[in-house]
Structure 1
Amino acid sequence: MSRRPDATPFEAEIIDLAHDGRGVARLDGKTVFVADALPGERVTARRVSRRRSHDEAELVEVLQASPDRVAPPCPHFGVCGGCSLQHLAPAAQLRAKADTLHDNLQRIGRVAAAARWEPVAGPSLGYRRKARLGVRKVDKKGRVLVGFRERRAPLLADMDSCAVLAGGIGAMLPAIGELIGSLSIARRLPQVEVAVGDDRRVLVFRVLDPPTAEDLLRLDRFGAAQDVDVWLQPGGNDTARPLHEDAAPPHYRLPGFGLEFEFLPTDFVQVNAELNRRAVSRAVALLGLAPGESVLDLFCGLGNFSLALARQGAEVTGVEGDEALVRRARDNAARNGLEVGFHVANLFEDSRQLPWARRPYDALLLDPPRAGAEAAVGLVPRLRPRRIVYVSCHPGTLARDAGILVHEHGYRLEGAGVMDMFPHTAHVESIALFTREDGG
């Protein structure tokens, strides 16, 4: 329970970096998390909340700076909650994320990777091709705000740019706000979803009331002037439609495999195009499948890994819980002239009796959401893959599942490493390889 803190500034030595990017200090035997402070620094800070187990504080002044401290590239850093690590040099961000990954593996899973792989990294700015931006008309400011929420309050940050959005969308925020402010439904438009493909940029406006004819004209003119496709979403994700019915959905490509994927702007796709290309190449190389060998791709989405594996000549089975994504995966396979067996199944439930789960595979690829793949890992004794590649977006659940694979199912953790899908954030994306100890 939070208590009113003593706001008197205090000095502290920062001894570590927390999983969310805050500096860690110890004061009078109690842990204090200090936002924007870095390990090795001496700072002045001020408490903003007190809890039984720890206190939270904001940075007042850096008295002795870390050599890894850099000037944040975005003027909104510190207020906007979209990024938490822009003050830390990119190389140091990678080291911190790698430490988080391997610490979780040892502390939670009680396993250590035989090899600690070098991080896979790419551009640190202009990388984010998918984002959900909040919208709010603020009378006191006399305009509409568009952007991410503030770090310390449930309010929208007052932003005129975003350094991490792809496709030039970050420079477009004021124009988007001005457009929405001109609409009759300005107070009934709470969100804009960004989707940047390799060939087009899409803005999906969430509309709680139908736009008027004049609104539609303004939206159309904006799309033409800014060279973006305008979509409207009156309800759930499946209600999103382009303003012009003949507008094509966006696409992305995996040039190394000669693949092109069509996706809807509300679909899940990896937010970092360059890192996704590298992640797919890495996973395919680690699995090392020969033509004709079989692989099961669980949490396959719209076929991101499945099609690359099929292009290598593997016999691929893909399973995903979202029926709409499976339809898109089948369409993408056909578009690329590939045969893949795609199935719909809830992979957080017992799947042992489903036909695809009742046979062995040479390899298994797991790419689950933050909750991890615990139920799917339970299938491994029946599937008996020689190699398992696990792509993770949460080191804690990867560590839990790694512990099960190693201690219960007889696998060896050959290696693990970070893939920096979200630079300047504390998000840790990683990849790991497991092989069966008996080799059979």
Structure 2
Amino acid sequence: MSTPPTPPLYIESLDHEGRGVAHLDGKAIFVEGGLPGELVIHSSYRKKPTYEQAQVTQIIKASPNRVTPACRWFGICGGCSHQHLHESAQVAAKQRVLEDCFEHIGKVTPETMLSPIHGPAWGYRTRARLSVRNVIKKGGVLVGFHEKRSSYVADMTSCEVLPPKVSALLPLFRDFVADLSIRDRLPQIELAAGENVTVLVLRILEPLSAEDEVKVRAFADQHEVQFWLQPKGPDTAYPFHPLDAPELSYSLPEFNLIMPFRPTEFTQVNHGINRMLVRRAMRMLDSQPGERIADFFCGLGNFTLPIARSGATVLGIEGSQSLVERAMENAKRNGLSGNTEFRVADLFQMTEESYAALGEFDKLLIDPPRDGAIELVKSLPERGGPRRIVYVSCSPATLARDAAVLVHQKGYALKAAGVANMFPHTAHVESIALFER
């Protein structure tokens, strides 16, 4: 008995992971590759009692926002999920995700929705971890991102979101790694592109042989990159060749800042959008000489030092000892040691008592990882306390959750919020929000 044909699905919206949302016989179907307004045929790869996960197999009626993906590996590589959606529509979809999270999770509404921050959508990714596998069945070494929904390395020879110089190196990495004696003991190449140098960190599970070292130096010289070696954890990475390469750094010209960093330290992947995000955060914070401001989850000082440049006194707090040391070095490098202080603290364990012990602040900047800052916002006093908070988020869901505490328990108003398209062609939503007493 033949299986009846699958009926067409109408894609109603996009979910928070960028999948099309449809319904069939009362069940939600999440369809990879489907866009709102489209009529599609789907194939399910995971079925649950209340939902299914599927992918598009045929488009019957296409969205006017559908475009031809620029990357030939789109759909195979798991790095991008949105290349089939026009760039402006991507940004609009991310803004809807933020608005939906505020409405349904936080039960809050911003007084103003800010215009989105966006910029060049290609060649923007200055940070990446490329997986390396020696796969005999596929002809040898593969270097790239993982395939969609898989631990396999995508068989790719270019990447449109990496800097063109690095994209051009992808096919060359194959022969380069294949020619090393430790080809089966080199699982990862990490990229960190600064403004004056491109660093490639080789994660090595065994030391390079003398012959390997010659080959690594030759590749670095020929392609004008600097290699670092990482034998164990990120803190063990060290420069290998050339040792006289320019300093790895990015700049914030508007604040006259140079920000050196190690290739394994956290920095934003999109330097252009980061500049615009810092500019917006500083305008919203409006720091003034004489104010005392805290920068929570300060990292290497991306927001701390622009705040300090205004003349305010800043306390930067971060959970990583190495990042705090980097922030202190960056403050000294930029002549801002006099009005900056840095401390190591586990901000996920913040209490009312530990917050009070920090002293009083006029304003706060909060820039947490995806987990958000729930214990920190719970620790804020319900009366008095900072009169203004700028919250930079990489997860709209945890931002909305924390906003609920600030608005419904701590006496703040959500004055404004907006998105920054830090990761074009992905479902990742970076956002910024302003809270005031």
CA distance in 1, matches of 2:426, 2:357: 37
Aligned match of 2:365: 365
Give the counterpart letter for 2:423 in structure 1.
F
1:434 aligns with 2:435: yes
Alignment of 1:40-439 (within 5 A): 40-166=37-163, 168-244=165-241, 245-247=243-245, 249-339=247-337, 340-354=340-354, 357-381=357-381, 384-436=385-437
Give the counterpart letter for 1:428 in structure 2.
V
CA distance in 1, matches of 2:244, 2:237: 14
Cα distance, 1:286–1:188 mapped onto 2, change above 3 Å:
same
Query: Which blocks of at least 5 consecutive residues in structure 1 are unaligned?
Result: 1-5
Offset, 1:33: 1.1
Give the counterpart letter for 1:423 in structure 2.
P
Aligned match of 1:3: none
CA distance in 2, matches of 1:269, 1:418: 18
Aligned residues: percent identity?
A: 50
Offset, 1:143: 2.0
CA deviation vs aligned residue, 1:318-337 (integer Å, no higher than 9, x gap)? 00000000000000000000
CA contact (8 A) 2:422 2:430 kept: yes
CA contact (8 A) 1:133 1:146 kept: yes
Q: How many residues align?
A: 431
CA distance in 1, matches of 2:84, 2:110: 30
Cα distance, 1:414–1:355 mapped onto 2, change above 3 Å:
closer
CA contact (8 A) 2:419 2:432 kept: yes
Offset, 1:51: 1.0
Offset, 1:55: 0.9
CA distance in 2, matches of 1:62, 1:124: 25
Cα distance, 1:354–1:409 mapped onto 2, change above 3 Å:
closer
Offset, 1:47: 1.6
Offset, 1:140: 1.3
CA distance in 2, matches of 1:289, 1:298: 15
Query: Which blocks of at least 5 consecutive residues in structure 2 are unaligned?
Result: none
CA deviation vs aligned residue, 1:131-178 (integer Å, no higher than 9, x gap)? 111100110122211111111322111110011112621221111121
User: Which secondary structure state, in structure 2, belongs to the residue aligned with residue 168 of structure 1?
Assistant: helix
Offset, 1:10: 3.6
Give the counterpart letter for 2:312 in structure 1.
A
CA distance in 2, matches of 1:18, 1:262: 37
CA deviation vs aligned residue, 1:46-89 (integer Å, no higher than 9, x gap)? 12221122111121111111000001111110010000000000
TM-score normalised to structure 2 length: 0.96
CA distance in 1, matches of 2:248, 2:356: 31
User: Which secondary structure state, in structure 1, belongs to the residue aligned with residue 205 of structure 2?
Assistant: coil
Give the counterpart letter for 2:259 in structure 1.
F
CA contact (8 A) 1:167 1:201 kept: no
CA contact (8 A) 2:196 2:246 kept: no
CA deviation vs aligned residue, 1:214-233 (integer Å, no higher than 9, x gap)? 11111111011111000110
CA distance in 2, matches of 1:163, 1:358: 46
CA contact (8 A) 1:366 1:390 kept: yes
1:27 aligns with 2:19: no
Offset, 1:375: 1.2
